[in-house]
A and B are shown apart, each in its own frame.
Chain A
Amino acid sequence: MAYQLPTWMSLGPTLALAVTGLLLLVLDSITPDRTDRGLLAGTAALGSLVAVGLAGWYLLAGTGEEPIRLYQNSLVVDTMALFFAFVFASVTTLVVVASYDYMRDHSYQAEYYALVLLAATGMTLMAAANSLAVVFVSLELSSLPSFALVAILKRNRGSVEAGLKYFLIGALSSAIFVYGVSLVYGVTGSLLLPEIASSVGGTDLTGVLGIGVLMILGGFAYKTASVPFHFWAPEAYEGAPAPVSAFLSSASKAAGFAAAFRVFTVAFPVDQLVTGATAGVDWVLAAQVLAVVTMTLGNFAAATQDEVKRMLAYSSIGHAGYVLIGLAALTGGDDQLVLAGGMAHLLVYGFMNTGAFLFIALTEYWSVGRYFEDFNGLATQAPFACAVMTVLLFNLAGLPVGGGFMSKYFLFGAAVGAGFWWLAAVGAINSALSLYYYSRVVKAMWIEEPSGDFDIESKPAGLYAALVAAAVVTVLVLPGFGPVWQYATDAAAALVA
């Protein structure tokens, strides 16, 4: 017997994450002194797995094909919202599972898991937000827990400093963003994205609108760690506990892009603002400049780092530049493929980058050290983990050992198809450069003689499980890219078709 779920159930993944986050706090307050670590981690993992399952189920069942609009259209659940909910929930699961070992000796266990889940809740809301007010609120909901997460190692100066820096820049960026929102509201008289779109075309206040749009773009640049609001990222990723770095550099970044994709395609349509009759606000040009500068700066900075974690941080800035092509190659015509390229890359990136940072978490767990030299000969001690890391790194570099190659290929191919061959060329050159610094890690692990005298005895099950899961998904996406691409194009179609 077929029956219809109530429409609010379409927010299932979000609700699952939020309820789990609150439940963790309840569990902790029942017995604050001796809370079972396994219970907390298990609850968090279960909750995020439920969210993964719900998002996957909805995607398979086609729930988002006909967008479900909730709360006076301020939230919309379409294929794109579910697609990204799947990404966020998956990354959250990996991070939570890996944290079980990593956070072993730290205080604030329950708070840690609760913060992760609440941040993830905010991210799923960002992907579904259909009003600038909701975008702002959900942005804050995902950012505020992140500040605390970065600084959660409160006896570690690096962690606290990173948290503070992240918080200050976050506050500044939020202010810029919300000011931009207010300007747009002033010009258009609405906060709902579709309504903004219907009134931006006819406005005389192009200058005010333009400043507003640029400020909003700046807010997203902060969230996605794109130039010029990128400089918090290496510090925060380096200082934060590695699972948190994984979470921020994968999920949080993808959330920024999810919201940016929707805001810029729905509220500020290219064919009205950029190429239309009353064109005046060329935000696509700004996105192009951002994309080129971000990927080039990120990659060159990554190539000059001495520390592995910082290298990964800068390389994640480079990846933000690739995804920005999704916005920068919009033409107002058939934009579906470019957007889909960006989204597919975010999905693959969510797994491969999380995996890479989780490997760093593993090395931090083993106290291996931060520098490239400290990784020398690691493969003699932990060949399996190093093989997994090698797969992840070559994927990040775009070698065809997994989905990383596919998503980059489709992203650049779509850019060429849209006529932006030069964007694809810059991307391809950067991608080739990235092989240099990624293979430095591979070289250190496998080829260099062991310099440090490390002895790796413990094999933390949680970290290993999360690491392997991330790598397996990354590799499986290579043969299984068909459905990923299908959902990505459906998600993109929800925005531009």
Chain B
Amino acid sequence: MWIEALIAVTMASALVVFVAPNKVAAKLSFALSLLPLAGSLWMYSTYEASGNALLAGSELAFETQFRWVTAGPYGLNWHVGLDGISMPLVALTTVLTSLALLASWTPIDERQSQFYGLMLFLEASLLGVFSALDFFLWFVFWEMVLVPMYVLIGVWGGPRRKYAAIKMFVYTNIASLVMFIGFIALVFGLGDSVTTLDMPAIAQALRAGELGSLGPVGADALRTAAFVAMFAGFAVKVPVVPFHTWLPDAHVEAPTPVSIMLAGVLLKMGTYALLRFNFTMLPDVAQQNAQIIALFAVVSVIYGAMLALAQSDLKRIVAYSSVSSMGYVILGLVAYTLYGMGGATFQMVAHGLISGLMFMAVGVIYNTTHTRMVSDMSGLASKMPITVAVLVAGAFGYMGLPLMAGFAAELFIFLGSFGAFAGSVWFTAAAMFGIVVVAGYLLFAMQRTLFGTFEVETDYEVGPAAFHDVAPLVVLILLVILLGVDPNIFYTMIQDAVNPLVPAAGGGV
């Protein structure tokens, strides 16, 4: 019942904070967010499980399953549990939420109790997404994420927040429906062989080839169509070029803590779902179309990096770089090797930490200087040394400097995808070139903003940031380095869950 407790405590905290007075909301929400944080760390330390949550023969941690609603031949189950893929993401969610709450103290200056309440509600929904193993339950949490996100961007965002919030809502909600139709088509195609929406049951039935035809649509066509529908649905969330246009708008308009959650955790929902649904349930379709999927991945990497290079707004630079980084994840997944899939999962966590760090650092700079334009500032390093040091370290992490989390992740992905399928050499090589562009735009931006003589076009006093602004940055950079130095903290766990998916290891199709 630990997962239920985790979600329930977070949800209850959200309610408490929502009705609390504005004055205490910030500190209260942070204090309450330490509960799920401690809970997830405790769960992590006692984690005992093996195998992949969706495949037979695996043992899950903290699993509970019971019949929720009985409806004729179909029933709904409450089924939650964690494996090596979801455990790190649950931990990531709780860590980032607490830090994001801390990072909200300075920028959020109105309607605090509502803001912090919604942030905690968002956390609860995200925990549900990563732990639910019944499709229906999962979908409930999946859609529930949108509601607080919509309000968070729409109310506390920048000047074009209404446009950004609605664009985000419409894009991702339509994507969810497309995905829903694709998945439900699979369930109906399975006919009587599954009687629940239990994800493990469906995954195993699909992998065993029990899919029949649905009306005039044959089994093979149904597989492909459902794969495409689900891929399209999740690709918007990731986001994959060309479905990415909602992301920069949402990022730029969102307040800093919301950007942290968006880049750090929400984008992972997309790749997590791709891994769970497309790549676990229909591995043969994924492998047959590996080149097409890899093309999407590589285009996202290069195009995202190119777009980032062209930006003059620090936050936009970081936003587009997310498109690029998430492209690596897709490339790792489609490789279907232990390193590729493991690296992709590792990259989800690593990118969560690093992008959270970058958005937070940009937010701190913005709070101080009230501008984000690269051309408006230079020489910040002399005025806010700690912030700048962390930002530089984070950027190095983004570029994949050794002994940082990003390096481990990208190395694994490239090792895994190189030679994994026909033409993968070229795709990998092209993706690796993305690193060069990343290093280019990050160094270029930093050189112009952070170093040189101090000059900022603003009416505000520029000085060192407050302690509660810098503290989360330091925590994050320490985590990034920790994961880079000792990837095994998560990697053995991840490997154990990914291994059964890999054909060469005997677990494939």
Which A positions have Cβ atoms within 8 angstroms of B? 336-337, 379-380, 383-384, 387, 390, 394, 399-401, 405-406, 409-410, 413-414, 416-417, 428, 432, 435, 439, 442-443, 446-448, 478-479, 481-482, 485-486, 489
Q: List 5 tightest A-B contacts by C-beta distance, closest first.
A: A447-B154, A400-B140, A482-B69, A337-B72, A400-B143
Instruction: Name the CB-closest residue of B to A486.
Output: B70
- CB of A384 within 8 A of CB of B151, answer no
> Smallest CB–CB gap between B403 and chain A, Å?
43
Which B positions have Cβ atoms within 8 angstroms of A? 18-19, 67-74, 76, 111, 113-114, 136, 139-141, 143-144, 146-147, 150-151, 154-155, 161-162, 165-166, 169, 173-174, 177, 188
A489 to B71, CA, bound (A): 8
Return chain A residues, CB-CB under 8 Å to B155. 379, 446-447
- CB of B140 within 8 A of CB of A478, answer yes
Other A-B pairs beyond A383-B113, A447-B154, 10, CB < 8 Å: A337-B71, A383-B114, A406-B69, A443-B162, A446-B151, A446-B155, A481-B69, A481-B76, A482-B67, A482-B69
- CB of A399 within 8 A of CB of B147, answer yes
> Smallest CB–CB gap between B389 and chain A, Å?
37
Return chain A residues, CB-CB under 8 Å to B173. 435
A-B contact count (CB 8 A): 79
> Smallest CB–CB gap between A169 and chain B, Å?
37
Return chain B residues, CB-CB under 8 Å to A485. 69-71
> Smallest CB–CB gap between A413 and chain B, Å?
7
Judged by DSSP, the binding face of B is helix
- CB of A443 within 8 A of CB of B154, answer yes
- CB of B151 within 8 A of CB of A447, answer yes
Instruction: Name the CB-closest residue of B to A400.
Output: B140
Return chain B residues, CB-CB under 8 Å to A409. 136
Given A379-B114, A443-B154, A447-B151 in contact, is the A401-B162 Cβ separation under 8 Å? no
A414 to B139, CA, bound (A): 19
> Smallest CB–CB gap between A22 and chain B, Å?
40
Return chain A residues, CB-CB under 8 Å to B146. 399
Given A384-B19, A446-B154 in contact, is the A336-B143 Cβ separation under 8 Å? no
Pull 23 A–B residue pairs with CB atoms less than 8 Å apart, ordered by A: A379-B155, A384-B18, A390-B147, A399-B146, A399-B147, A400-B143, A400-B144, A406-B69, A416-B188, A417-B74, A432-B174, A443-B154, A443-B166, A446-B155, A447-B151, A447-B154, A447-B162, A481-B68, A481-B69, A481-B76, A482-B68, A485-B71, A486-B70
Given A432-B177, A447-B155, A447-B165 in contact, is the A413-B71 Cβ separation under 8 Å? yes
- CB of B71 within 8 A of CB of A410, answer yes
Return chain B residues, CB-CB under 8 Å to A439. 150, 169
A400 to B128, CA, bound (A): 13
- CB of A399 within 8 A of CB of B114, answer no
Return chain B residues, CB-CB under 8 Å to A448. 162
A2 to B144, CA, bound (A): 47
> Smallest CB–CB gap between B65 and chain A, Å?
15
**Cβ 8 A contact of B111, one of A383, A417, A432, A489:** A383
**Cβ 8 A contact of A401, one of B70, B111, B114, B144:** B144
A432 to B141, CA, bound (A): 18
Return chain B residues, CB-CB under 8 Å to A400. 139-141, 143-144
Return chain A residues, CB-CB under 8 Å to B147. 390, 394, 399, 401
A391 to B430, CA, bound (A): 47
> Smallest CB–CB gap between A324 and chain B, Å?
20
Return chain A residues, CB-CB under 8 Å to B76. 481
> Smallest CB–CB gap between A391 and chain B, Å?
9
- CB of A387 within 8 A of CB of B69, answer no
A387 to B169, CA, bound (A): 18
A387 to B174, CA, bound (A): 24
> Smallest CB–CB gap between A432 and chain B, Å?
6
Instruction: Name the CB-closest residue of A to B143.
Output: A400
**Cβ 8 A contact of B70, one of A384, A414, A447, A482:** A482
- CB of A413 within 8 A of CB of B74, answer yes
A416 to B76, CA, bound (A): 17
A195 to B209, CA, bound (A): 52
- CB of A417 within 8 A of CB of B72, answer yes
A414 to B73, CA, bound (A): 10
> Smallest CB–CB gap between B459 and chain A, Å?
24
Return chain A residues, CB-CB under 8 Å to B69. 406, 410, 481-482, 485
Instruction: Name the CB-closest residue of A to B22.
Output: A383
Return chain B residues, CB-CB under 8 Å to A414. 71-72
A417 to B155, CA, bound (A): 42
Which of A379, A384, A400, A443: most chain B CB closer than 10 A?
A400
A442 to B165, CA, bound (A): 12
Instruction: Name the CB-closest residue of A to B117.
Output: A387
Instruction: Name the CB-closest residue of B to A413.
Output: B74
Which of A394, A448, A482: most chain B CB closer than 10 A?
A482
A417 to B68, CA, bound (A): 20
> Smallest CB–CB gap between B167 and chain A, Å?
13
- CB of A447 within 8 A of CB of B161, answer yes
> Smallest CB–CB gap between A486 and chain B, Å?
7
A439 to B169, CA, bound (A): 10
Given A337-B71, A413-B74, A485-B70 in contact, is the A387-B18 Cβ separation under 8 Å? yes
> Smallest CB–CB gap between B195 and chain A, Å?
12
A102 to B71, CA, bound (A): 40
Return chain A residues, CB-CB under 8 Å to B165. 447
Return chain B residues, CB-CB under 8 Å to A432. 174, 177
A405 to B161, CA, bound (A): 28
Which of A336, A401, A416, A486: most chain B CB closer than 10 A?
A401
Instruction: Name the CB-closest residue of B to A479.
Output: B68
> Smallest CB–CB gap between B127 and chain A, Å?
15
Instruction: Name the CB-closest residue of A to B110.
Output: A380
Instruction: Name the CB-closest residue of A to B140.
Output: A400
Return chain B residues, CB-CB under 8 Å to A387. 18, 114
A337 to B71, CA, bound (A): 8
Instruction: Name the CB-closest residue of B to A384.
Output: B19
> Smallest CB–CB gap between A434 and chain B, Å?
12
> Smallest CB–CB gap between B332 and chain A, Å?
31
> Smallest CB–CB gap between B456 and chain A, Å?
30
A446 to B148, CA, bound (A): 11
A399 to B180, CA, bound (A): 13
Return chain B residues, CB-CB under 8 Å to A446. 151, 154-155
A448 to B111, CA, bound (A): 14
Instruction: Name the CB-closest residue of A to B15.
Output: A387
Instruction: Name the CB-closest residue of B to A383.
Output: B114
Return chain A residues, CB-CB under 8 Å to B151. 390, 442, 446-447
> Smallest CB–CB gap between B477 and chain A, Å?
35
- CB of B140 within 8 A of CB of A405, answer yes
Instruction: Name the CB-closest residue of A to B157.
Output: A447
Instruction: Name the CB-closest residue of A to B161.
Output: A447
Instruction: Name the CB-closest residue of B to A391.
Output: B147
> Smallest CB–CB gap between B77 and chain A, Å?
11
Instruction: Name the CB-closest residue of A to B162.
Output: A447
A203 to B242, CA, bound (A): 64
Instruction: Name the CB-closest residue of A to B152.
Output: A446
> Smallest CB–CB gap between B160 and chain A, Å?
12
Return chain A residues, CB-CB under 8 Å to B188. 416
> Smallest CB–CB gap between A481 and chain B, Å?
5
Return chain B residues, CB-CB under 8 Å to A406. 69
> Smallest CB–CB gap between B454 and chain A, Å?
37
